[in-house]
């Protein structure tokens, strides 16, 4: 028993921090809509922020909870990878370039370029690696014939 717990502990810790980060970020989109939700999405230049911000917040809460509960965690990780890559493209790539990227505005900072990009994107990059670890460990079940109630086998 102790050996099994020790072997699973690293993935439990990864799922815990990744799941908590996404659940909390999703909640913040509803709790602080001007700073973290609709207002932020509009400021970034995303289309339909009134629809997109609650949708992204709901995905973050639902998929973050699925990861915390290890319920289709691999599938949830795929959805969250889409969210995090969109966040990188819309908010962090302009920092690396030092200019807006299409409709996506440039955040006002003291410096721009690679080093500032990596500094600003450190949480995003950590979440990407955590989500990849979860997807690999849990597996992705989307599109498979087996139903959730049929168990592993």
Q: Is residue 40 part of a domain?
A: yes
Helix, strand and coil percent figures for the chain, each rounded to 5: 75, 0, 25
Q: Is residue 150 part of a domain?
A: no
Alpha-carbon gap, residue 3 to 60, rounded angstroms: 33
- Residue 146 within any structural domain of the chain: no
57-78 residue pLDDT tens: 999 999 999 999 999 999 999 9
CA distance 22 to 64: 5
Tell me: the pLDDT tens digits for 21-30?
Answer: 999 999 999 9
Q: Which domain holds residue 59?
A: 2-138
DSSP string for 88-120: IIIIIHHHHHTS-BTTBPPP--S--SHHHHHHH
Q: Is there a domain that residue 144 lies in?
A: no
Cβ pair 42, 22 in contact under 8 A: no
pTM: 0.88
143 in a structural domain: no
pLDDT in tens, 119-130: 999 999 999 999
The rounded distance, in Å, linking the Cα atoms of 62 and 14 is: 17
Total number of domains constituting the chain: 1
Within-domain flag for 132: yes
Look up residue 101 and give its two tokens. Answer: 């990227």
Q: Check residue 55 and give its pLDDT.
A: 98
Among 2-16, 39-53, 83-97, which is the least confidently predicted range?
A: 2-16
Q: What are 135-147's pLDDT values in tens digits?
A: 999 988 775 555 5
Whose tokens are 């809460």? That residue is: 61
d(CA 72, CA 79): 11
């Amino acid at each position: 028993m102790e050996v099994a717990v020790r072997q699973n502990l690293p993935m439990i810790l990864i799922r815990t921090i990744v799941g908590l980060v996404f659940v909390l970020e999703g909640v913040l989109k509803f709790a602080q809509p001007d700073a973290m939700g609709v207002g932020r999405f509009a400021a970034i230049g995303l289309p339909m922020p009134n629809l997109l911000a609650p949708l992204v917040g709901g995905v973050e809460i639902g998929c973050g909870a699925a990861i915390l509960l290890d319920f289709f965690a691999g599938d949830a990780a795929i959805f969250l990878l889409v969210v995090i890559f969109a966040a990188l493209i819309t908010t962090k790539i302009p920092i690396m370039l030092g200019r807006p990227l299409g409709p996506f505005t440039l955040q006002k900072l003291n410096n721009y370029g690679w080093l500032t990009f990596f500094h600003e994107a450190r949480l995003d990059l950590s979440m990407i690696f955590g989500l990849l670890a979860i997807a690999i460990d849990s597996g992705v079940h989307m599109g498979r014939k087996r139903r959730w109630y049929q168990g592993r086998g």
